[in-house]
Amino acid sequence: MTDFAATKAKFILPEGVVYLDGNSLGPLPKGALERARRVIEDEWGEMLIRAWNLAGWMDQPRRVGDKIAPLIGAERGTVVMGDTLSIKMYQALAAALTMRPQRKVVLSDAGNFPTDLYMAEGLIQSLARGHVLKTVAPEAVEAAIDESVAAIMLTHVDYGSGRMHDMPRLTDAAQAAGALAIWDLAHSAGALPVDLAGCKVDFAAGCTYKYLNGGPGAPAFIYVRPDYLEKARPALSGWLGHVAPFDFDLDYRPARGIERMRVGTPPVLQMSVLEASLEIWEQVDMTAVRDRSIELSELFIREVEARCPALVLASPRDPGRRGSQVSFRFGHGYAAMRALIARGVIGDFRAPDRMRFGFTPLYIDEGDVRRAADILAGVVEERAWDRPEYKKREAVT
């Protein structure tokens, strides 16, 4: 049994705030600041360059990867940290295309987070070998898989609607057609159970500043299926992915195993804060997180639909088909979200009209959900969005 009151006590949340945006940036775990102090004062300050050995900085990307592995159903030694999700998706796709040289289609869907599509566009344009990025409706992916497809590249849980793809089924379908399956776990890792090994996923990547609470700019991770670890070509072949970086060879030879997906110097400070944040997961069962997240989101949907009929559910109604976030369409959504935030309930807005709310049981309980629904009902009832300062668009929504 996971004790969610105990996990909640491990976060610092501002007084009076209900935080329903952990799907964008997880809140601050209590241990994070002390870990940052330790890295800055005791390691950087005192050990200086020697900390690469003494404080274990060099092994950190693999060590932290091994801590994330059980959260996504991955084997030890198949996950490594570094860079950003965009970069890791690029590496995964570049490796996949090398493994299917005769096939020219990268299949994705219109619900994918745009950066994955943009990175794929950039790669395809660089390759200039007639590849095509084919983007279909999410529900049309399976039917679009054929023998022209080199790889499917999908985000498991849609950033906007929370709609969840059937990972085992689509992975099977892709592989049955001879394609590879690449999954973006941005809204999955730490939100719900994922079984990369069980699904025989080929490549996956994810970020750690959302549900894994690693802090702003925390590094990404990449997963490579075990039998590809010695085969996958790291297109971004940096020196820390070399088999012997400190030999300073002039020619690149990939490291054995997942280390080859490392590129340059790891973000030690960010990764250390992440490492501290990951300690919370040691006492957490992902199935319990999933069950509780569904309870909370179902409660929120019931409350909002009963009290705010102008808001239209934009997420799948079946909780088994969505991740841990819920969106509502509302014409005044942008300003209404600003008004809601001003009253202490923090969600976010996604164009064109979606108000988005994340339900992360590590620090959200039933009382928070009821309170959020109450305040939202008040905003709608009072037309609190109807003020000029709420309508002015900010740089980041």
Regarding 216 and contact with a copy of itself (CB under 8 A), the answer is: yes
Residue 235: how many CB atoms within 10 A of its CB? 16
Which residue in the list 290, 354, 356, 363 is annotated as catalytic?
356
In degrees, rounded to 5, the angle at the alpha carbon of residue 268 between the alpha carbons of residues 204 and 251 is: 70
Within 89-148, which residues bind a copy of itself (CB under 8 A)? 90, 94, 110, 113-115, 117-119, 121-123, 125-129, 135
Regarding 59 and contact with a copy of itself (CB under 8 A), the answer is: yes
Q: How far is the CB of 81 from a copy of itself (least distance, A)?
A: 11
Return the residue matching tokens 């501002």.
14
Q: How far is the CB of 112 from a copy of itself (least distance, A)?
A: 8
Within 144-173, which residues bind a copy of itself (CB under 8 A)? 160
Is 356 catalytic? The answer is yes
Is 363 catalytic? The answer is no
CA distance 397 to 393: 8
Return the residue matching tokens 């005044």.
332
Which residue in the list 35, 210, 225, 260 is annotated as catalytic?
210
Choose among 219, 217, 235, 175: nearest CA to 200: 175
For a copy of itself, the closer of residues 199 and 222 by Cβ is 222
Helices (H), the chain: 4-8, 32-37, 51-54, 60-68, 85-99, 114-127, 141-144, 167-176, 196-199, 268-278, 286-307, 333-342, 366-381, 388-391
CA distance 168 to 81: 24
CA distance 190 to 269: 21
Q: Which stretch binds a copy of itself (CB under 8 A): 142-150, 195-203, 260-268, 376-384?
A: 260-268
The SS3 call for residue 19 is strand
Regarding 78 and contact with a copy of itself (CB under 8 A), the answer is: no
Within 293-322, which residues bind a copy of itself (CB under 8 A)? none
Is 184 catalytic? The answer is yes
Helices 114-127 and 85-99: crossing angle, nearest 10°?
50
Query: 289 with 361: CB under 8 angstroms?
Result: yes
| Phi-psi category of residue 364: left, alpha or beta, with phi > 0 → left and psi -120 to 50 → alpha | beta
For a copy of itself, the closer of residues 249 and 381 by Cβ is 249
Binding-site member from 146, 230, 265, 391 for a copy of itself (CB under 8 A)? 265
CA distance 295 to 366: 9
Q: How far is the CB of 168 from a copy of itself (least distance, A)?
A: 26
Within 345-374, which residues bind a copy of itself (CB under 8 A)? 346, 348, 350-351
Binding-site member from 65, 74, 79, 86 for a copy of itself (CB under 8 A)? 86
Binding-site member from 171, 270, 293, 297 for a copy of itself (CB under 8 A)? 270
Residues 215, 213, 70, 233, CA torsion sign: negative
Q: How far is the CB of 142 from a copy of itself (least distance, A)?
A: 20
Binding-site member from 16, 130, 227, 246 for a copy of itself (CB under 8 A)? 246
Amino acid at position 306, single letter: A
For a copy of itself, the closer of residues 74 and 218 by Cβ is 218
Is 211 catalytic? The answer is no
Q: Which stretch binds a copy of itself (CB under 8 A): 195-203, 257-265, 284-292, 308-316?
A: 257-265
Q: What is the DSSP string of 118-166?
A: HHHHHHHHHH-SS-EEEEE-GGGHHHH--TTEEEEEEESB-TTT-BB--
CA distance 161 to 312: 12
Within 20-49, which residues bind a copy of itself (CB under 8 A)? 21, 24-25, 27-28, 32-33, 36-37, 39-41, 43-46, 48-49
Which residue in the list 209, 211, 223, 300 is annotated as catalytic?
209
Regarding 287 and contact with a copy of itself (CB under 8 A), the answer is: no
For a copy of itself, the closer of residues 310 and 342 by Cβ is 342
Regarding 5 and contact with a copy of itself (CB under 8 A), the answer is: no
For a copy of itself, the closer of residues 157 and 286 by Cβ is 157
Within 8 A by CB and 6+ apart from 297, the residues are 319, 322, 324, 325, 326, 357, 359
For a copy of itself, the closer of residues 199 and 224 by Cβ is 224
Residues belonging to the active site: 113, 184, 209-210, 356
